Structure 1
Amino acid sequence: MPSEGLKSETFGHGRQDSFDIFEDEDVAMQAGSEPSHYGIRNEPYPKYTWNGNMLEKVKSAVHPNWLLYIIHGFCGQSKMLIYGRPVYVTLIARRSCKFAGTRFLKRGANCEGDVANEVETEQIIHDASVMSFTAGSYSSYVQVRGSVPLYWSQDISTMMPKPPITLDQADPFAHIAALHFDQMLQRFGSPIIILNLVKKREKRKHERILSEALFSAVTYLNQFLPPEYGIQYIAWDMAKYTKSKLCNVLDRLNLIAEDVVKRTGFFVNHPDFHSNSLPGERWNELGGFVHNTCRLQTGVLRTNCVDCLDRTNTAQFMVGKCALACQLYALGVIDKPRLQFDTDAVRLFEELYEDHGDTLSLQYGGSQLVHRVKTYRKIAPWTQHSKDIMQTLSRYYSNAFSDADRQDAINLFLGVFQPIEGKSHLWELPTDYYLHHKNTVALLSPKRSYTHWWTPEVLIHLPLPYDEVPCTENFKKMTVIKKTVKCDEEIDIYTEFFRPYELSCFDDAFCLKMTNSAKDFMPKNIGIDPSPFTVRKPEETGKSMLSNKSNKEEAVLQRKTVASAPPPPSEEAVSSSSEDDSGTDKEEEGAVSQRSTPVKVTEFGENTKNTEDSRQSLREVRMGNISRLPSEDDLLIYKRFVNLGQSQRKVDLYSQQSNIRQLDDSMTILKPASSFPQDSIYEVHLSDLDAKSADIFASHIQTGKGMIPPLAKDDMILYREYIKNRYM
């Protein structure tokens, strides 16, 4: 929904002299009347609003408070407890509604510079120890993914897993790329950093076509920009380095991520601490715009591969991990802006980003991620390979058979196709090319300059984004709200969200039970450091310890079952059962596979020995290793307990028959405790029926048995009248 300003405070860059909405507050106070309070309501960014076309028809007739703007993408939240200090990590992905569609059907860019599969991902860190929007601590970092901004496509009519890539139109002056990067400069400022993960060396040109064309476009556009605001291009063949045994992919990505975060900076809603300026971490070299009250991010990283799914998600995770360390350091949570792998915080962040990647991949590609962070770390379990094959097949099936219907639904929902009586229907169109490229038929439209390809106002305010600069054009997008009540929800975000004047539950107002939490990864042993920034082995984490214990117990119980069972009838039955068991393997690290502990069926004596060994191992799993012998006092207490149990057993056997007899006698004298004797907890009496109801019930029973009674004269007349009116 549209964001609203804070009461009577404004954030700017010292350029708001011509826009003072609080002048009459001092006049009202001098006159002795009640002062007024102001708030600002602005419009959401239309590129990421998916129901904007629907709301345009009702905007003029409905109050703005009733308009609900929706986004399409992903939203996830996790919680970390740092020695009792709650920190929330929120990940929001906003998909662009411009040139939206599915894989293979929407590639490259349209004539307005909008690219396919463009997603803006924002990670927000909130120190929840202070429950206030004005006094709380927040930090945010934004990055973008999107298809290569060129005219290109892939022909899927050949039913190939990898259709050939073709450049549809020659664009020597990079007109489409210029439109796209002009939009990015206007929204994010500079520097614009491109991380291109497309392959560069291939035996037969496939992905390399895009790499060469994108490099030529960026080189051409940078000729006319000032050098300090030029588009920075980083090309790295991630697929090639993944196959190499000597190169660590994530180490190289980490170096790129540190350089990117250093250039763009990030947002923090308070000034830097004194400890941040101490020598050692080179915090003063961090980019962005430093204000007296906050730190702003300027510029953005734009990551892409061919599909912008698997490789892109891993690269964005590494950049987000580096930004997360800087954000936590800026909030005073950690003492150094660095986070290591195999910590609870990074495991939590990795799972959050994998959910983010799976969701976006399902929306665009039709399946979940094929290659994950564990794949590039080369620590994925062997069961992951079979799942990767299934995801690849699922993606291929979706692209070949179901994406066309999904594309039609998206075109209809977004208003790209408007049904008009007398014209062709949506399913009758041979292609939707002209729906997304409307300017291709406007031959007389004014052409943009081939050299000054940017909007003039954008270059004046760089490195700040033009959309956030206080100017007349941006003020037109805002509406000033005047209220006499200070805590009115239209001007106070805190009151709007938490609603303190209503009787509500705190659990519903703030998300306490989240899908991901650091407690799922923290160790269950008390003696281990509970900090989420401590490096742990995979078997020490909470999820792995639980999976290890459950898998060990299952393996032991399986040994007992197989050892005590008769020999299998044939080898085919054993092979079929093992194939069925392979489907239950876990994805967690350190999981013990049932296939890795084969059981050999032997003679009876060896079976007995195996059973005793399995009981011993099961006892060790349940009770743990006993490191010391019990004391004499403990043994004496245990003996008394055993004697008491034996004597009680003798008494139970002696009095069993008498107890049963007494129980029967007591059941006969029970009386209902309810004050309703005909409907109590002990018995239910049927109510008296009148003669008409009894006749209807008896007729119903006879009809069920096939004995249909003759119809009355009135019923026959009514039935004939119904047939006459219905069918004649």
Structure 2
Amino acid sequence: MPQSAATSISGIQKMVLYETRARYFLVGTNQAQTKHRVLKIDRTEPKDLVLIDDKHVYSQQEVRELLGRLDLGNRTKIGQKGSSGLSRAVSAFGIVGFVHFLEGYYIVLITKRRKMADIGGHSIYKIEDTSMIYIPNDSVRVSHPDEARYVRIFQNVDLSSNFYFSYSYDLSHSLQYNLTLLQRPYELWTSPTLPAEGEVQTQSKNDGFDIFEDEGLPTQVVYGLQNEPYYKYVWNGKLLERVKDIVHHDWLMYIIHGFCGQSKLLIYGRPVHITLIARRSSKFAGTRFLKRGANCEGDVANEVETEQIVNDAAVMSFTAGSYSSYVQVRGSVPLYWSQDISTMMPKPPIRLDQADPYAHVAALHFDQMLQRFGSPIIILNLVKKREKRRHERILSEELYPAVINLNQFLPPENCIDYIAWDMARYTKSKLCNVLDRLSMIAENVVKRTGFYINRSDFYCHTVRPDDRWGDLGGHITASGRVQTGVLRTNCVDCLDRTNTAQFMVGKCALAYQLFALGMIDKPRLQFDTDCVRLFEELYEDHGDTLSLQYGGSQLVHRVKTYRKIAPWTQHSKDIMQTLSRYYSNAFSDADRQDAINLFLQVYQPSESKPHLWELPTDFYLHHKNTMALPQDRRSYTLWWTAGILSYLPVPYDEVPCEDNMKKVKVKRVNRFEESIDIYTEFFRPYELTSFDDTFCIAMTNSAREFMPKTVGVDPSPFTVRKPEETGKSVLGREISLPRL
């Protein structure tokens, strides 16, 4: 078995773009600036992209000499000191991608970043600013009258708004996927013959990003493994597609869109980090009224995978530390449906666009979910049941029979669970407590799916057992627990009701996670504690961000609204958010949709086809299969991918099996190679740093903000606070009283 495991860090974290009349030279370096790579980009081609990846790894001295020779060789007059042949264009932190419209290619570079979170020493950054540079030289440029309009549309996707990346952590996969490598049989990762330096070998698809040391060999051999991202949640996959097989993988960096926030919980001085990562799907992506339901490939609108990671921040390493995660999903109802926005009204009528008697599109969608999450798949449908005018219930009346139809072919233990609850109706009732009902649903869901933790039960769980801990679901392994199955929540928009329901499920899961980490003695958390208030702020930031991306405004109804403790000033604010959402949907959604279609390369401009703004609809861009006759019609009864059922409830994507093998890049490096040394990467002993830079992240909030400052109050974040202990601001947000 492997003795230890660490990460394989992307070798290029800083880069400088130099230019001459004939070429761009992109010089990339690692964090320590000890290794450099050079990418040459030809500027004499008016339309094509010509890249030359210099395979040589340069030292700092070698790269200076190279740049000096390039500068000297490109001067207009040899020996003339006044004119420079090589000029510095821009400094950057990563490549978003390469894109072209009707002229030549552009390169999009990240020029400013901000650290948002840290997971096991792996930094997660938010893009703060980018630069889009036209590659061909002006002398060869063939101008087109519509090029500038396409550039403006492309730049409507604001890359400084909630796009995230990491050099060493795969954000497109869950923590469970990334860390299950450590629990797999060593035989799947070893080869009878040792590879040469940098050799590519056949290994498992589920490669993670860890290294192994083989103690049995006379010289220790370390394998660094490069992980293949999950392209559904990658937003620049198409922008890198042109170059990904040409350049070294260190140049490739994948970005996700959604939300990332991290908060610190102090339990009597012991730090615990709570991280929330939301991955927004790049398939069938768009704005509120323009993207509804599902496309013909089973991808649904507004699909977001939300993962909450809880870890003991006192220990940084993945192998030595304690890490837990819980994943849930939101997404539009998987049917062919839309809303008619030709008339200006707040609630356009819902219509079913296509009859689907065999639930073909729902089958494709749930097949994807079974493959990624395992079973059970639990649907929490929050749309209205009773209405004066038949509106939302059209969707429930179509979804429930579809689930019944699919379930009749699945084994009973792997059936899709369907929970329908009219949350809006219960909110209006004075007799019912909405959050109590959601809490019961959440307890049932978390018990069935379980959660991921990379540690087996602690001794404290034996000393102080809890009844609810014994029948917890999921898959128990020798080194911890694995989540099997997932909750899929939806209302009509998947915004306000969905966010509150997800918060309640997340709150329940958080209690089990903290109990599993040995932080609390019972897997239960109460409202009005510092811990839950901190968690609620995190989820509201998450909900506001996703609502702005999809609906054009912040959340209208929040957790406080459903608790019925929102102050009177909140009602006027809700009205303003409703008007903002209506205005956005009516006037700006079409432009935003065009920008998303162009950025994701769903539409690629060409002289031979109509312009993007001339298309009457983008239906055929997102439903490409409708344009071609299917060669192999999928079975209506055996609707799942072959091989999935034999491994359920464990997700097929995570099983260590021979059927699931794929070629990945495997490199053999020195034991003390800096590209896998997370300690050196994080603490940077090779340069002068300050404690503020190393240990401080711009966290959204900390438990200190919610803890009372008065003397004699229990400092535990799990103690219920009275309103006078926390104070209330005018807008209803909790504020701390001044220190006595």
The TM-score range, normalised by the shorter chain, is 0.7 to 0.9
Distance in 1 (alpha carbons) for counterparts of 2:599 and 2:695: 32
2:303·2:331 contact (CA, 8 Å) conserved in 1? yes
Secondary structure class of the residue paired with 2:538: helix
Aligned to 1:411: 597
1:81 to 266, 270, 294: 266
CA contact (8 A) 2:184 2:656 kept: no
> Matches of residues 537-686 of structure 1 in structure 2 within 5 Å?
537-541=722-726, 544=728, 547=729, 585-588=730-733
Quote the residue 2:407 is aligned against.
222
Work out which of the residue numbers 386, 397, 400 in structure 2 matches 1:212.
397
Greater share of residues in strand: 2
Secondary structure in 2 matching 1:456: coil
* Deviation at residue 42 of structure 1 after TM alignment: 0.9
In structure 2, relative to structure 1, the CA distance for the partners of 1:477 and 1:587 (3 Å cut) is farther
Which residue, 151, 154, 158 being the options, matches 2:343? 158
Q: Note closer, same or farther for the CA distance 1:272–1:287 as it changes in structure 2 (3 Å cut).
A: same
Q: What is the SS of the residue equivalent to 2:264?
A: strand
Query: For the structure 1 residues 402 and 347, does the alpha-carbon distance in structure 2 shift closer, same or farther, using more than 3 Å as the test?
Result: same
User: Does the C-alpha gap of structure 1 residues 129 and 22 become closer, same or farther in structure 2, counting only changes over 3 Å?
Assistant: farther
The one-character-per-residue Cα deviations of 1:87-106 (angstroms, maximum 9, x if unpaired) are: 11110100000000000000
Q: What is the one-letter code of the residue matched to 1:52? A: G
State how far apart, in whole Å, the 2-side matches of 1:154 and 1:95 are: 22
CA distance in 1, matches of 2:238, 2:707: 46
How far did residue 478 of structure 1 move? 3.1
Matched, 1:41 2:207: no
1:104 aligns with 2:289: yes
Q: Decide whether aligned partners of structure 1 residues 498 and 460 sit closer, same or farther in structure 2, where only a CA change above 3 A counts.
A: farther
Matched, 1:483 2:651: no
Distance across 2 between alignment mates of 1:522 and 1:476: 50
* CA distance 1:29–1:449, shift in 2 (3 Å): closer
Paired position in structure 1 for 2:130:
none
Work out the CA distance in 2 between the residues paired with 1:139 and 1:129. Answer: 14
Name structure 1 gaps, 5 residues minimum: 548-584, 592-620, 625-728
What amino acid sits opposite 1:300 in the alignment?
A: V
Spell out, residue by residue over 1:573-598, the C-alpha distance to the aligned partner (whole angstroms, 9 max, x if none): xxxxxxxxxxxx5333699xxxxxxx
1:336 alignment partner AA: K
Question: How far off is 1:476 after superposition?
Answer: 1.4
Mapped to 2, the partners of 1:300 and 1:263 lie a distance apart of 9
Whichever residue aligns with residue 447 of structure 1, its letter is R
Residue aligning to 1:395: 581
Shift of 1:524: 1.2
Structure 2 match to 1:70: 255
**2:181 equivalent in structure 1:** 11
Give the secondary structure class of the aligned counterpart of 1:112. coil
SS at match of 1:72: strand
CA displacement at 1:282 relative to structure 2? 3.2
- Structure 2 partner of 1:438: 624
Tell me, yes or no, if the aligned pair for 1:133 and 1:494 is still in contact at 8 Å.
no
CA contact (8 A) 2:330 2:488 kept: yes
Instruction: State the Cα distance separating 1:489 from its structure 2 match.
Output: 4.0
Mapped contact 1:38–1:491 kept (Cα < 8 A): no
Match of 2:527 in 1: 341
Aligned-partner Cα distance in 2 for 1:389–1:64: 49
Of 46-55 and 272-281, more deviation after overlay is shown by: 272-281
- The residue number in structure 1 matching 2:96 is none
Q: Is the 8 A contact 2:284 2:295 kept in 1?
A: yes
Contact 2:556 2:578 in 1 (8 A): yes
Helix, strand or coil at the partner of 2:254: coil
Deviations 1:516-548 (A, max 9, x none): 11111111102111111100012211x63xx4x
Superposition deviation, residue 472 in structure 1:
4.3
The CA deviation string for residues 286-323 of structure 1, in whole angstroms up to 9 with x for no partner, is: 11111111211111100000000000000000000000
2:571 alignment counterpart:
385
Amino acid paired to 2:711:
I
2:302 to 117, 125, 139: 117
Q: Which amino acid aligns with 1:243?
A: K
Please say which of residues 138-147 and 508-517 is displaced more in the overlay.
508-517
Q: Distance in 1 between matches of 2:275 and 2:548?
A: 20
Note the residue ranges of structure 2 that are not aligned, 5 or more in a row. 1-165, 196-211
Which residue number corresponds to residue 291 of structure 1? 477
CA contact (8 A) 1:39 1:492 kept: no
Query: What is the alpha-carbon root mean square deviation over aligned residues?
Result: 2.5
Trace 1:210-359 onto structure 2 (pairs within 5 A): 210-277=395-462, 279-359=465-545
Quote the Cα distance in structure 1 between the aligned partners of 2:657 and 2:632: 26
Contact 2:213 2:223 in 1 (8 A): no
Contact persistence 1:94–1:121 (CA under 8 A): yes
In the alignment, is the contact (CA less than 8 A) between 1:281 and 1:336 conserved in 2?
no
User: Residues 3 and 41 of structure 1 are in contact (CA less than 8 Å); yes or no, is this contact kept in structure 2?
Assistant: no
Q: For residues 346-402 of structure 1, what are the alpha-carbon distances to aligned partners after superposition, in whole Å with 9 as ceiling and x for unaligned?
A: 001001100000000000000000000000000000011101110000000000000
TM-score with structure 2 setting the length:
0.71
Residues in 2 aligned to 1:209 and 1:18: alpha-carbon distance in whole angstroms: 49
| 1:451 equivalent in alignment to 2:637 | yes
In structure 1, how many angstroms separate the alpha carbons of the residues matched to 2:263 and 2:344? Answer: 41
CA 1:30–1:216 in structure 2 vs 1: closer, same or farther (change >3 Å)?
Answer: closer
Q: Indicate if the aligned counterparts of 2:331 and 2:488 stay in contact, CA closer than 8 A.
A: yes
Which of 237, 249, 253 is the aligned partner of 1:52? Answer: 237
**Aligned residue identity for 1:396:** Y
The C-alpha deviation readout for 1:152-196, integer Å capped at 9, x for no partner, is 000001111000100000000000000000000000011100000
Range with bigger deviation, 125-134 or 80-89 = 125-134
Q: CA 1:509–1:283 in 2, change beyond 3 Å: closer, same or farther?
A: same
TM-score, reference length from structure 1 = 0.72
Q: CA deviation at 1:404?
A: 0.2
* Closer/same/farther in 2, CA of residues 489 and 267 from structure 1, 3 Å limit: farther
Identical-pair percentage = 74
Indicate if the aligned counterparts of 1:190 and 1:298 stay in contact, CA closer than 8 A. yes
> Which residue is equivalent to 1:133?
318
Q: Could you tell which deviates more after superposition, 9-18 or 452-461? A: 9-18
The C-alpha deviation readout for 1:318-347, integer Å capped at 9, x for no partner, is 000000011111111111110000000000
Question: What is the CA distance between 1:203 and its match in structure 2?
Answer: 2.2
Separation of aligned partners in 1, 2:270 and 2:182: 31
Q: 1:160/1:84 Cα in 2 relative to 1: closer, same or farther (>3 Å)?
A: same
Deviates more, 1:327-336 or 1:494-503: 494-503
Cα 1:378–1:395 change in 2 (3 A) is same
Contact 1:187 1:467 in 2 (8 A): yes
Check whether the contact 2:276–2:307 (CA below 8 A) recurs between aligned residues. yes
Name the SS for the 1:11 alignment partner. Answer: helix
The 8 Å contact of residues 312 and 321 in structure 2, kept in 1 or not, is answered as: yes
Does residue 523 of the first structure (1) align with residue 708 of the second (2)?
yes
Q: Aligned match of 2:609 in 412, 418, 423?
A: 423
Aligned to 1:465: 651
Equivalent-residue separation in structure 2 for 1:182 and 1:622 (angstroms): 54
Cα displacement string for residues 2-34 of structure 1 (whole angstroms, at most 9, x for unaligned residues): 64899xx983666553442487599997774x2
Q: What is the Cα deviation at residue 229 of structure 1?
A: 0.5
State the match for 2:279 in structure 1.
Answer: 94
**Which amino acid in structure 1 is aligned with residue 479 of structure 2?**
T
Asked whether the 8 Å contact 1:42–1:477 carries over to 2, the reply is no
Q: Which amino acid aligns with 1:287?
A: G
- Answer whether contact 1:140 1:267 (CA < 8 A) is retained: yes
Q: Residues 182, 85 of structure 1: CA spacing in aligned structure 2 closer, same or farther, 3 A cutoff?
A: same
Q: CA deviation at 1:514?
A: 1.9
